[in-house]
Amino acid sequence: MKELAQAVTQKAQASLGAAGFFFEQLDLSKKFSVDTITADSFSQLVTVPTQFPVIFVDGGNNTLIDSPNMHVAALKVALVKQTNDLRSPPKFSVETIEASVIITLEKINDKKKYVVDLKSNSTSVTFPLFAPIEMDDPIIASTEENRVMMTLCNHVRQMLEWHYAKEHIATVTSPTLLILDGSFSPRNEMQTNALLDLLELSARKQVLVVAVAKTTSLTTTGGYAIGPFLMSHSPHQGMWATQALAESTTSIPFTMHFAKLAGRAEHVVRIDISKHTGGIDLMRAIGVIAWLSQDASFPGYPYGLIKADDLARVSQEERDYQATRLMMSLDPLTQKQIRMLSASSSAHSVLDSLKF
């Protein structure tokens, strides 16, 4: 163990880069233009209170039935609206949409395709249309075979988040800040078109759209994890933000920033900001996000997203309840068929349940 600890210590120190060493860049595809990271890339950050309303959107999902050719999951999308009056505490209103999705692998015109079928108990809920997904879709092509169904479920949830965000901002009548969970990283043409529609509508409605990602696997060209690298090299104490370290060269117009949004924050978040800013200074916009990120429960992360995450999360207990309720609603023959379909994916869970 001593030798392991020494090796881990050496690797951890090397993973952060030498003190004062800059001139790294984000290691991104040709879909971005990148800037070299220097001391000038950082700006001291101050909180900027705002009286504009802020909308937060997040989603969650959990598997009810899993097999190689059929996947059933529970989905939630939460919208949290924060109304700000600087003379009193902010007020929150929430809206949660619940749905279920069935994804099946079917043969259509002699070609295998994934078919998405969304269900909701509410007649007032509308869904984006999902055409059958081809086997050569980038989402499928870039995913391990045993994770395709789960990845497609995440794709559906992402589409629902952007769909409901778009529906909501279509009704706004004053300048508004929309904060999405995650990033502006569409993975196929359908996601690209949905995100582009959202950003174009936001520009017409005076809505600034940003995406905040609490985790990122991005690295620099030298192999350093970007969050720890920036945290250890920032010349500023307390809160700080970077200028744009990358700019999209695709049809999705945005810049990529990183920030420590609270003095006590232990995380660096990624912030994607739509270039449809309406003339708003980017550091001022990030200062507003910092103002929203001072809650003691998770300093450095917007409280509205914490609330949206909690509302949208499909807990394991809720998943178990819904899965049991679904199975009890099926006739005996269908129950047997579902158990047969699921058996090829459940062997590990059987081993995990054994106690020796």
Residues 318-327: what's their mean pLDDT? 94
Measured in degrees and rounded to the nearest 5, phi and psi for residue 146 equal -80, 0
Share of the chain above pLDDT 90, in %: 74
13 band by pLDDT with thresholds 50, 70 and 90: confident
- When the pLDDT of each residue in the chain is averaged and rounded to a whole number, the result is 91
Q: What is the DSSP letter of 235?
A: S
What's the confidence (pLDDT) of residue 277?
A: 78
Residue 201 belongs to what H/E stretch? helix 189-204
Reported as a single tens digit per residue, the pLDDT across 265-321 is 999 999 999 998 777 788 999 999 999 999 999 999 999 999 999 999 999 999 999
Quote the tokens at residue 251.
């049809």
Share of the chain above pLDDT 70, in %: 94
What's the confidence (pLDDT) of residue 356?
A: 54
Reported as a single tens digit per residue, the pLDDT across 340-356 is 888 866 665 655 666 65
What's the confidence (pLDDT) of residue 352?
A: 62
What's the confidence (pLDDT) of residue 12?
A: 79
What's the confidence (pLDDT) of residue 37?
A: 93
Query: Does 237 or 196 have the greater pLDDT score?
Result: 196
Name the 3-class secondary structure at 314.
Answer: coil
19 with 232: CB under 8 angstroms? yes
For residue 190, give every residue at least 6 positions away whose Cβ sits within 8 Å of its Cβ, in sequence order, or none: 130, 131, 159
Query: Does 345 or 125 have the greater pLDDT score?
Result: 125
Reported as a single tens digit per residue, the pLDDT across 147-173 is 999 999 999 999 999 999 999 999 998
Quote the tokens at residue 135.
């086997």
**Residue 350: left (phi > 0), alpha (psi -120 to 50), or beta?**
alpha
* Window from 45-49, 86-90, 191-195 with minimum mean pLDDT: 86-90
Residue 23 has pLDDT above 90, yes or no: no
